Copies of this chain bind each other. A is one copy, B any other.
Amino acid sequence: MPSLESLGERKIIEIIWKQLNVMPNLPLGFGDDVSAVSLGKDELLVIKTDMLVDKTDVPRGMSLWQAARKAVVMNISDFAAKGVKPVALLVALGIPQKFTAKDIEQIGKGLNSGAREYGAYILGGDTNEASDLVICCALFGTCSASLLMKREGAEPGDILAVTGEFGKTAAGLKILLENLPVPSEVENPLLDAVFMPKARLKEGLALAVSRAVNAAIDSSDGLAWSLHELSKASHVGFIVERLPTAPEAVKFAEIHGLSHAELCLYGGEEYELVLAIKPELWDEALDAVKKAGGSLIRIGKAVKERGVWLKTDKGAEPIEPRGWEHFQSCTGETRG
């Protein structure tokens, strides 16, 4: 009988999914970034849960305050990708016995900061003793069904765009997990990307209202994986014409002789939005995001043929469906 290690997260989800009765008339497919149920008329209740476990989600050097904030932000990011305003969260905690009152205080402060940064509140939760630090958030909000951005819906000809550059988190994690040295002016923004991730909520909300988006996903499993998920859900393909690699990641790659495409595509733990945008509404989308204080980077287009490719001088090479694997090298030593 295969153990968890050989099964992998996606196989586990598949096994569980097979045991469940599916609720009728769901407005959003299983496997989208969030779940939703109808509240009548055009209104949806949107809900999401995501669990942070220190030994796989918290790299060495991240404080408890940062870990707790991140546990909230990774849930907010999924709401951003659907264009849904978060209202409030519940937080269930698993806390190791060695934790002190000061540790708990830092966790509480981090949770509150993560929520308030995006206008949400923490309403309550549950506390347990556990071997790992476990922070499990359940986030909810409501939205108009007609404004919800889904993973499905991209059409050939759509403009492929992202809300920011990629690769900084992957590089930052390499610094932390593989002790790769870099000058501090490069190190700081890379570590900041790991320790203080941002959800693109204002961008997502503005894009939803613009009605320019045909399909959307967040990039927490990496750009490549997100593109494949979007392709699968929308039954289209994508050609990436320009890799949106952050300059700091390019510099890091140069210093250590790494591929910057690898950092950009297969990093993960990044919270940009990946979007298929109606070409005729591109200017509106750009305008909406700019007004919200964000940026929108055109990186390619949707095509009829299923698959994901990177355009190169020699033609188009396939982008692999490799996703983010939880980093196994974390120590779980998260102290405030």
Contacts and interface: CB of A to CB of B under 8 A. Distances in A.
Interface of A: 1-5, 7, 9, 11-13, 15-23, 26, 30-31, 34-35, 37, 39, 45, 47-53, 55-57, 87-88, 90-102, 104-105, 107-109, 111-112, 116, 121-132, 134, 136, 138, 140, 142, 326
Contacts of A11: 101
A130 B132 contact: yes
A51 B123 contact: no
Most B C-beta atoms less than 10 A away, residue of A12, A109, A111: A12
- Give the 5 A-B CB pairs with smallest separation, nearest first: A19-B108, A138-B138, A23-B121, A16-B108, A131-B131
Contact of A126 (B37, B51, B87): B51
A49 B90 contact: yes
30 contacts: A1-B102, A2-B100, A3-B97, A3-B100, A4-B97, A4-B100, A7-B101, A9-B127, A12-B104, A16-B105, A16-B107, A16-B125, A18-B108, A19-B108, A20-B112, A20-B121, A21-B112, A21-B116, A21-B121, A30-B123, A37-B123, A49-B124, A49-B126, A50-B92, A51-B92, A53-B128, A53-B130, A56-B128, A57-B128, A130-B134
Given A3-B99, A131-B131, 14 more contacts: A4-B97, A16-B111, A19-B105, A23-B88, A35-B123, A39-B39, A45-B45, A51-B93, A52-B128, A57-B128, A90-B138, A94-B94, A94-B132, A128-B326
Contact of A47 (B16, B30, B123): B123
Contacts of A108: 15-20
A92 B49 contact: yes
Nearest to A99: B4
Given A12-B104, A37-B87, A104-B12, A131 B98 contact: no
Contacts of A49: 90-92, 124-126, 136, 138
